[in-house]
Structures are given as C-alpha cells and as structure tokens.
Amino acid sequence: MKKVIVLVLFFSFIELNAQTPTAGDLVGIHNVTTTEMNSIANPIEGSMVFNTTTKSIHFYSDSAWVEIPNVANSYIGAFQITGLGNQNIIGLPFEPSSITFSAHANVESYNLNSDNAVGNNNTGIANSFGTMNGFARNDGNTIVEQVIYVGGSGNSINDISRYASNSHCIGLRYGNQNGNNLGVTSATVTRFNTDGFTINTDSFADGIVVIYQAFR
C-alpha cells in the first residue's frame, strides 16, 4: 500500500510539472531602451538586458554592450550604378554597421553573355577590364572607407591601371593598353539606414553592377 501511495504521488508530481508554465513562471530580464542601457553606471561583466529599441538581448563584456542579434548577421545583394548622384539601397533586414563591395569593369548589366561589342583591339573604355574591392564601415559618427582596383586593356597590356582611395568604397579606373586613365567611376556611402544605405556616385565613366555584403 505504501508503494502505491508513493507511485501515485510521483506521477502526480510529473503531471504537475508537465503543465505549460504561465507568464509569471518565466525567467525575465530587465527591459531597457538603447539610451537607458548606455546610461547604466558600472555594469557588471556578464550582465544581460533586453533592448526594446533593437528588440534583442545584450550582454556586457570588455567594457561594452554586445548584441545577440535575433535576425541574420549578414545580407548579400546587388545594385547598378548608371550615372551620377545619390541612390538608396533598401530591403535589408537590418541597419548595417559595415558593407563590402566588389565590381568588375564593363559588367554593367545583371544578365550578360557577350564580348564588348566594339570590335577587336579597341583601346577605349569598352575594352578595359579590371576588378575592384572596397568597404564602408560605421565607426560611430564617422564612415570609414577604402577601395582598391587594378586592371588592363583587351588591346594589349603594356602597363596596368591602378586605383585606390580611402575616401571611397567603390572605384574603377578604366585604362588603355598603356595604363592611361580613360575615366573613373567612384562612389561613397553617405549614410547607413535602418533598412539599407545611401550611396553617392561622384564620378561616372561607365555603368557597373556592384555586389555587396552587409553586416549587422
């Protein structure tokens, strides 16, 4: 009889603990805005808060609040540069903190399968080739940028065309067979937005497709 009572109590305990917890049973942490979080004096290493501004958990480590993002950490996309001026790149699932860029001379369309269409041994922009890599990073109130490019000409390669700038994230220097400058397409990130970024093309020689990877 004693064993029966023990078994009844045991299974009753299991049934009780298997019930769905109520809101009051959950473990909660402090809710704060970004402003409130950054105003906390002398937080303890490892402390955690829920940031209602970013809708994510932050923990304190090495004298800084570190976000545990609840969405993807990176996003890859593409856009075209077709002329001078500003354009807003939108549709990102977060506000980026840094972005990398890559582009190739004379790839100006999303779908392309052809030669340069200007004839063999042409010495102009249409027969120039090269590869570009750049980045833009949000350092507080300052946007840090760098781009590098190297290329040549389909006519011949007597010299190469080079370009680098620490005030641009996109830059292509089109060159002829002697590496002479035929024109530059360059752009900068002027702003990081909640769903993308704004880019300004300040020099335009030819159109390009830019592939980018944005990081939260």
pLDDT computed for residue 80 by the predictor: 98
DSSP 83: S
Reported as a single tens digit per residue, the pLDDT across 106-125 is 999 999 999 988 888 889 99
- Identify whether 8 is part of a domain: no
Give buried/exposed letters for 98-136 (b at 16+ CB in 10 A, else e).
Answer: bbbbebbbbebeeeeeeeeeeeeebbbbbbbbbebbbbb
Which CATH number does the domain housing residue 45 bear?
2.10.10
Structural domain contains residue 92: yes
User: Domain span at residue 122?
Assistant: 74-215
Dist. CA 78–CA 87, nearest whole Å: 13
Mark whether 61 and 123 lie in a shared domain. no
Q: Is 15 within a domain?
A: no
Give the pLDDT score at 71: 66
pLDDT at site 6: 46
User: Coil, strand or helix: which one is 188?
Assistant: strand
Which pLDDT value is given to residue 8? Answer: 46
User: Are 129 and 168 in the same domain?
Assistant: yes
Domain assignment present for residue 189? The answer is yes
Which of 35, 70, 105 represents a domain boundary (last residue)? 70
Domain holding 195: CATH number?
2.60.40
Tens of pLDDT, residue by residue over 130-140, are 999 999 999 98
Which residues of the chain fall short of a pLDDT of 50? 4, 6-11, 14, 16
What is the amino acid identity at position 210? V
Strand pairing partners for 199?
87, 189
Number of domains in the chain: 2
CB of 189 closer than 8 Å to CB of 120? no
What string of H, E and C letters represents the secondary structure of 16-57? HHCCCCCHHHCCCCCEECHHHHHCCCCCCCCCEEEECCCCEE
User: Is there a contact between 65 and 38 (Cβ–Cβ < 8 Å)?
Assistant: yes
Burial profile 162-177: b = 16 or more Cβ within 10 angstroms, e = fewer: ebebeebbbbbbbbbb
By C-alpha distance, which of 147, 150, 179 is closest to 164? 147
56 and 85 housed in the same domain: no
Residue 113, φ and ψ in degrees, nearest 5: -155, 75
Judge whether 14 lies within some domain.
no
Strand partners, 161: 151
Same domain? For 149 and 184 the reply is yes
In a domain, 2, yes or no: no
Same domain, residue pair 198 and 100: yes
Spatial contact of 92 and 214, defined as CB atoms under 8 Å apart: yes
What is the per-residue pLDDT for 173? 98
113 and 139 together in one domain: yes
pLDDT score for 180: 95
Among the candidates 11, 37, 70, a domain finishes at 70
Last residue of a domain, one of 70, 101, 134: 70
> Do 193 and 132 belong together in one domain?
yes
